[in-house]
């Protein structure tokens, strides 16, 4: 039975991914909300909860503790703080990079020996903003462009691993509701991808045949 670490597993895409993988994987669910993580773990066949803030000095080591061989690492944790450059603070940019880039890099680095031992697979949930930057989305898009650069570099540096960058369009999550509220629009969940749809794409990437390397997956909501 393969072992997979999932970050941001307490809600949204992370929780949906845990449930999508639970039947045939041993899971390590990482996040900051212990109660929410335990609720997700309760829906899984085999799941261990690790409460950790991956932006702290000891968070990545805590999440990686006791893992000697790792088949999959799925980075679902992320934040989206929007605003035009003229109105953005340096702290907003720092937070975007700390969560969306630095935490991804550091946890991956700490787990590289375990991933190498299993010829494992790293999946980073990126965004459509990792390809296209729009007005009001500069800090978020810049962090996602950087995350894509990380996956591209990691793929070349670690040829025994598979590295997949997943770029969904806007997804029906709590984060999305906050974004739409900030845009002053009415929320219609039908306009967005379901977290379960992104989780299915992640599972399919992880289960790709040995001869295949799914380097990038792009998903967009279908018009309704």
Terminal C-alpha separation, the chain: 39
Dihedral over Cα of 7, 201, 126, 194: its sign: negative
Sign of CA dihedral 19, 125, 119, 56: negative
Catalytic residue among 11, 108, 140, 144: 140
Taking the C-alpha atoms of residue 183 and residue 129, their distance in angstroms, rounded to an integer, is 16
Which residues contact residue 149 at a Cβ distance below 8 angstroms, ignoring those fewer than 6 apart? none
Reply yes or no on whether 140 is catalytic.
Answer: yes
> Active-site positions?
140
């Amino acid at each position: 039975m393969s072992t997979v670490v999932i970050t941001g597993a307490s809600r949204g895409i992370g929780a949906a991914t845990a449930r999508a993988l639970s039947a045939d994987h041993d899971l390590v669910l990482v996040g900051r909300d212990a109660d929410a993580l335990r609720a997700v773990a309760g829906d899984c066949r085999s799941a261990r909860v690790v409460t950790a803030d991956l932006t702290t000095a000891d968070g990545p080591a805590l999440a990686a503790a006791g893992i000697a061989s790792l088949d999959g690492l799925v980075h679902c944790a992320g934040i989206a703080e929007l605003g035009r450059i003229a109105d953005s603070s340096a702290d907003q940019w720092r937070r975007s990079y700390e969560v969306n880039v630095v935490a991804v890099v550091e946890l991956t680095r700490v787990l590289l020996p375990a991933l190498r031992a299993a010829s494992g697979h790293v999946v980073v949930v990126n965004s459509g903003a990792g390809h296209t930057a729009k007005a009001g989305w500069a800090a978020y898009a810049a962090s996602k462009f950087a995350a894509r650069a990380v996956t591209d570099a990691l793929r070349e540096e670690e040829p025994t691993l598979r590295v997949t960058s997943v770029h969904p369009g806007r997804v029906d999550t709590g984060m999305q509701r906050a974004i739409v509220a900030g845009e002053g629009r009415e929320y219609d969940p039908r306009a967005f991808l379901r977290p379960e749809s992104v989780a299915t794409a992640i599972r399919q990437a992880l289960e790709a045949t040995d001869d295949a390397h799914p380097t990038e997956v792009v998903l967009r909501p279908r018009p309704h």
